[in-house]
Chain A
Amino acid sequence: MLAESSHRWPWLLLLAVAVVGPPLTGEPYVAHLMVLGSLSALLAVGLNVALGFAGLFSFAQGAFYGIGAYVSALLVLSSGAGFWTAFLAAGVAAGLAGLLLGLLTIRLGGHYLAIATFAFQEIVIVVIRNWDSVTKGPLGLSGVPGPAPLALPGLPPLEFQSELAYYYLALAVLVLAVAVSWRLRTSQIGLELLAVRDDEVAARAMGVRAVQLKIFAFSASAVLAGLAGSLFAHYVKNVSPESFAVATSFAVLVSVLVGGLGTIMGPVLGGIALTFLPEYLRVFQEHRFTIYGALLIVVVIALPGGVAGGLQTLARRWRARAQAARP
């Protein structure tokens, strides 16, 4: 239903809720969480391109996120570049890092690839933490400026000062990313990626250039993480290595799988839901991350296809019942 159906309404409904919901609550904190949720969703959509479409494990999404954040912040802080230039540069830098890692490791496949990307993740964090002259080490960079107002012809300049305004910026990027991933999924390249994921040997025998495609998917996923990193850096204004550690990569993987691997909407839902979940668990105070861990286990056991997978199953059953009820 939410994955590849002809129905438009679930999408439009979700988008409407995303646009109207946060201002209706009137709470800046909700908008703040939605910014973070959108960034998680962006990371998850990115990972989904690699893992969901091409079947490539990656524990390096946090590292690409960090590369994007640091490149963007450093560009603005040291060379005085504008936000938009830095934003694009962050995507390019992360994409190049993804390309490099892809070239080195893509032939490994399966669990080996997972562990190699895990290693890359750790190396990037160690480098960021120790390269004091550039990254300021564990303390990180502070005073990263927010984006300058955007002047569009015929409109009043768009400001990104408030949480809500920044949220709309993040949402716009997210919607764009979802559109691209949907377009990719339904394109020739997307179908070839799925073929490689399901049976690489057969796909190659049909003339699919598997290695190039996989490297492409891997780099594309890194680009999205880099863009998310830039948005993060100019939102929180401080970047320090801990935000991009392996726990972040785990969280991205979890949102993709809990949301629904390989679906379009699953990663978005997963990213946002898992940002809000710890907030709702605040009532349990210091036990909340224990409960978070337990919930992960329960969800994975109860909903092996993720939330989107579960919804699809429900929709299928409902449709079957509706058909059976027809005389």
Chain B
Amino acid sequence: MTLVLFVQHLANGLITGGLYALVAIGLSLIYGVLRIINFAHGEIFAVGAYVGFFLWRVLGVPLPLAFVGAMVGTAAMGVAAERLVFRPLRFADPLNSMISAIGLSFLLQNLILQVGGAEPRRLDPFMSGVLLVGPIALPLQYLFILGLAGVLIAAIEVYLRRAWNGLALRASSQDLGTAALMGVSIDRLARVTFAAASALAAAAGVLVGSVFLLQPTMGVSMAAKCFVVVILGGVGNLPGAIVGGLVLGVAESLAVAYVSTALRDVVAFVVLIVALLFRPQGLLRGA
């Protein structure tokens, strides 16, 4: 019985971890390529969730289409944010783009509050039903989320390895200046980076909304956790972000189950301090 419970908690942790990974990949990508600490990334995640909710609830779009619509719409918003908020500061002191990001997060959070209202919202689950594996009950919805997160992460990995833009992105994250000299258009690269990062965050937003609740401030704690994930995995390291997300999700789930629910939000930060002290280079990088 205890083993069953343990597996159940493990599964819950993996789901949350998968969602962390989706958001953290974008954060890591933006930092890796453009050296921007995007404090507004949590709000982009929240915008994605609300766009999905709006399409589904107000316009009556079927849920899977609303999911895709949210990704596309939020990607467009990410591109606009890059153009208006970050591009003018590309060659300024990095502190300035940090402030700009904080301003953007203020702006988006309050826009969501005004357009979406303060009350928590919820989306329908994508799937109902339970898969029984021996004595362990796994809701299909959870499996679906984990699967979808996996597919999206695999897609971005393949994109980064195969597509020309992906190669350019990886080259630029190593050396932006040289990449520019080799004919990579930095403007185009910044667009692609923000579009991909925002689309992934939106996907996570809609998925979160189908399990938990949508709230205007939902991006704040998500962003905080994802900073931890990014550090844990190694800044700019995408497989690291995935591993970091899963590790954090599982650690939280187990701490809540076996120690205390009050610990949920501390776990991330204790993990972070420990990681910074002992493996500041990230879990996946050799010493």
Contact = CB atoms under 8 A, between A and B. Distances in A.
Contact of B269 (A104, A119, A300, A304): A119
A105 B280 CA distance: 11
Contacts, number: 110
B231 A115 contact: yes
A177 B114 CA distance: 40
A297 B37 CA distance: 15
Max chain B C-beta neighbours (<10 A), residue from A116, A118, A297 = A297
B42 to A, nearest CB: 11
Best-buried of B107, B224, B228, B265 by chain A (most CB within 10 Å): B107
A304 B265 CA distance: 35
B231 A300 contact: no
Given A250-B102, A296-B102, A290 B110 contact: yes
A41 interface: no
Given A300-B100, A301-B89, A116 B272 contact: yes
Given A118-B227, A287-B114, A293 B85 contact: no
B100 A290 contact: no
B95 interface: yes
A118 B230 CA distance: 14
Interface in A127-148: 127, 130
A297 B95 contact: no
Contact of A120 (B96, B113, B273): B273
A253 B102 contact: yes
A293 B106 CA distance: 5
Contacts of A14: none
A326 to B, nearest CB: 34
Contacts of A111: 31, 37, 235
A122 interface: yes
Given A114-B37, A130-B262, A257-B96, A292 B280 contact: no
A135 B256 CA distance: 22
Contact of B273 (A119, A127, A253, A254): A119
A123 B104 contact: no
Given A116-B276, A119-B272, A290 B106 contact: yes
Given A290-B114, A297-B85, A300-B89, A261 B280 contact: no
A106 B282 CA distance: 18
Contacts of A220: none
Contact of B88 (A114, A292, A301): A301
Contacts of A289: 106, 109-110
B99 interface: yes
Contacts of B93: 304
Given A300-B100, A304-B92, A293 B272 contact: no
B58 interface: no
A297 B100 contact: yes
A186 B10 CA distance: 57
Interface in B264-280: 265-266, 268-270, 272-273, 276-277, 280
A126 interface: yes
B111 interface: yes
Interface in A80-121: 104-105, 108, 111-112, 114-116, 118-120
Contacts of B31: 111
B103 interface: yes
B105 interface: yes
Contacts of A287: 110, 114
A304 B262 contact: no
Contact of A115 (B92, B96, B110, B272): B272
Contact of A112 (B113, B114, B228, B276): B276
B10 to A, nearest CB: 24
Interface in A283-313: 286-287, 289-290, 292-297, 300-301, 304
A215 B37 CA distance: 24
Interface string B207-234: 0000000000000100010011001000
Contacts of A119: 227-228, 268-269, 272-273, 276
Contacts of A257: 95-96, 99
A253 B99 contact: yes
Nearest to A118: B227
Given A119-B269, A250-B102, A289-B110, A108 B224 contact: no
Given A112-B280, A118-B227, A301-B88, A292 B96 contact: no
A250 B101 CA distance: 11
Interface of B: 31, 37, 39, 84-85, 88-89, 92-93, 95-96, 98-100, 102-111, 113-114, 220, 224, 227-228, 231, 235, 262, 265-266, 268-270, 272-273, 276-277, 280
- Lowest 7 A-B CB distances belong to which pairs? A296-B103, A293-B106, A293-B107, A119-B269, A297-B103, A290-B110, A289-B110
Given A112-B276, A289-B109, 10 more contacts: A114-B37, A115-B227, A119-B268, A246-B220, A253-B99, A286-B113, A292-B106, A297-B85, A301-B100, A304-B93
6 contacts: A112-B280, A119-B273, A250-B102, A289-B109, A290-B107, A297-B84
